[in-house]
Amino acid sequence: MAGSHNVLVGQSGGPTAAINSSLAGVFETARSLGAGVLGMRYGIEGLFDNKLLDLTYALGGPVDVQLLRQTPSSYLGSCRYKLPTPEQDERPYELLFDLFDRSRIGSVLYIGGNDSMDTISKLSAYGAREGSGIRFVGIPKTIDNDLEGTDHTPGYGSAAKFIATSVAEIGRDSSVYDLRNVTFVEIMGRNTGWLAGSSVLASQEHAICPDLILLPESPVTEDALIERIGELLKEMKSVVVAVSEGARRPDGTLMAEAPTGAIKLDAFGHEAALSGASRYLATLTAERLGVKTRAVEFSTLQRCANHLASATDLDEAYALGGLAVRAAFEGKTGVIPAIRRISDQPYLIEYHTIDIASVANRERKVPHAWIRDDGMGVTEDFERYARPLVQGEAMPMFVEGLPHHIQMLTWGR
């Protein structure tokens, strides 16, 4: 099989703490099945420049693979490339399938979110149309947890673990002086509140934190928010508000934008990266309530803080990578391995494969039943859902006092 059936694997979209663990699962499973493993450098886009790499040499042994699992970012490099439809432009397809043939690729695996699943869905459909034997399998990944068809996505649990840990730490820090204050913590999530909602896990016995959570799914007015904060400040001196970057008003405008502002769109027609909801609300609250306020943004830390990765998340990411290889070797194409939850307590899941077309370009939102009645928080159902996903510590190897990483392929030039 080796040589005649090479596996080609790529990473796409924003990195997560678990995306390299999926790559490790692909690599070790493919090797165990006797296949060669080639990596796309910078995703599908890199293929247009023949940026291929033989991972069999790059990842020499089990120590490399272990380091890979604990290294943040996307080891192979990534891209945000939107493949046109063959009707729009067939040339990319011809170029890619020619390259697949030349490199004797039998399976193409792509680790990514719903945009990347669109790419693999199109390639799969084109391959079927052209009678190609190549199998195309997606591997789910996104800290946003907004993929349909799977209980949750690899990357989400680790991001949630970092977010909840940091919100708990910041909450305690913000209570240190004897004065009324409000802290706004800005969390990623342009259209869904899965990440902001995960901050609910920061609460411990006797310590509710954060006090309020603003989700894109549950618009609020500034007036209602500030009235609620004012009420809380009668009962406590320090209020913590977790703010989704996509928090919005009932009229649909974002807290981060001026009421008349226009928003830039990225290559996929999505809103470009936002920033500013927490700063805006901190300024407004200080003005209206006359209290000290602070805005904290987690920025990219929430997707790259591998030192606090969830062991559950890394293990599931690895398993999905391996299962994608097995699905391809069983002849499946246009599918994606997914997670089905059996029970919350004990936490039990099973893996299955789903049709990729049912996943691509769709966006799963936080169910309304999981949003608190006041619209500024999540329910115990959300907490029961999210809690198992942050279980277990994936302690990295510390060298000279710091987590050690594998040498990035993307480093330097």
Within residues 131-150, the interface with a second copy by CB under 8 A covers none
Closer residue to a second copy, CB minimum distance, 130 or 287 = 287
The site string for a second copy over 336-375 (x = CB under 8 A, - otherwise) reads ----------------------------------------
Q: Map residue 301 onto helix, strand or coil.
A: helix
Which of 96, 170, 255, 335 touches a second copy (CB under 8 A)? 170
Q: Which range in 95-103, 105-113, 122-130, 294-302 contacts a second copy by CB under 8 A?
A: 294-302
Q: Alpha-carbon distance 408 to 19, whole Å?
A: 14
Closest CA to 277 of 358, 203, 362, 189: 189
Instruction: Give me the least distance between CB of 22 and a second copy, in Å please.
Output: 15
The footprint of a second copy on this chain (CB under 8 A) covers a number of residues equal to: 71
Q: Interface with a second copy includes 86 (CB under 8 A)?
A: no
Q: Which residues contact 215 (CB under 8 A, 6 or more apart)?
A: 189, 192, 193, 196, 197, 244, 247, 366, 371, 378
- Token output for 337: 């391995």
Instruction: Give me the least distance between CB of 1 and a second copy, in Å please.
Output: 32
Closest CA to 84 of 98, 95, 73: 95
Instruction: Give me the least distance between CB of 56 and a second copy, in Å please.
Output: 20
Which of 6, 21, 29, 78 touches a second copy (CB under 8 A)? 78
Helices 311-329 & 19-32 angle (0-180, nearest 10): 40
Which of 22, 73, 116, 218 touches a second copy (CB under 8 A)? 73
Closest CA to 242 of 275, 204, 195, 288: 195
Q: Interface with a second copy includes 80 (CB under 8 A)?
A: yes
Q: Interface with a second copy includes 77 (CB under 8 A)?
A: yes
Residues 188-217 that bind a second copy (CB under 8 A): 201-202, 204-207
Q: Alpha-carbon distance 206 to 286, whole Å?
A: 27
Instruction: Give me the least distance between CB of 165 and a second copy, in Å please.
Output: 5
Q: Report how far Cα 64 is from the mean position of its chain's Cα atoms.
A: 24
Q: Alpha-carbon distance 379 to 284, whole Å?
A: 27
CB of 385 closer than 8 Å to CB of 345: no
The site string for a second copy over 11-50 (x = CB under 8 A, - otherwise) reads ---xx-------------------------xx--xx----
The site string for a second copy over 221-260 (x = CB under 8 A, - otherwise) reads --------------xxxx----------------------
Burial (CB < 10 A; 0-12, 13-18, 19+), residue 399, is exposed
Q: Alpha-carbon distance 396 to 70, whole Å?
A: 6
Q: Map residue 137 onto helix, strand or coil.
A: strand
Closest CA to 106 of 77, 69, 133, 79: 133
CB of 77 closer than 8 Å to CB of 41: yes
Which of 224, 286, 301, 354 touches a second copy (CB under 8 A)? 301
Q: Interface with a second copy includes 267 (CB under 8 A)?
A: no
Q: Which of 115, 118, 144, 146 is catalytic?
A: 144
Q: Which range in 90-98, 100-108, 113-121, 401-409 contacts a second copy by CB under 8 A?
A: 401-409
144 assigned to active site: yes
Burial (CB < 10 A; 0-12, 13-18, 19+), residue 140, is buried
Closer residue to a second copy, CB minimum distance, 190 or 332 = 190
Which of 6, 29, 71, 192 touches a second copy (CB under 8 A)? 71
Please give the helix or strand (H or E) that residue 195 lies within, else none: helix 194-198
Instruction: Give me the least distance between CB of 237 and a second copy, in Å please.
Output: 6
- Residue 300 amino acid letter: T
Which of 7, 108, 339, 390 touches a second copy (CB under 8 A)? 390
Which of 56, 132, 300, 379 touches a second copy (CB under 8 A)? 300
Please give the helix or strand (H or E) that residue 350 lies within, else none: strand 348-355
Q: Which residues pair with 378 in a beta bridge?
A: 371
Which of 65, 79, 96, 256 touches a second copy (CB under 8 A)? 79
Closer residue to a second copy, CB minimum distance, 19 or 357 = 19
Residues 302-321 that bind a second copy (CB under 8 A): 303-308, 310
Instruction: Give me the least distance between CB of 339 and a second copy, in Å please.
Output: 17
Q: Alpha-carbon distance 55 to 25, whole Å?
A: 13
Q: Which range in 120-128, 175-183, 218-226, 355-363 contacts a second copy by CB under 8 A?
A: 175-183
Annotated catalytic residues are: 144
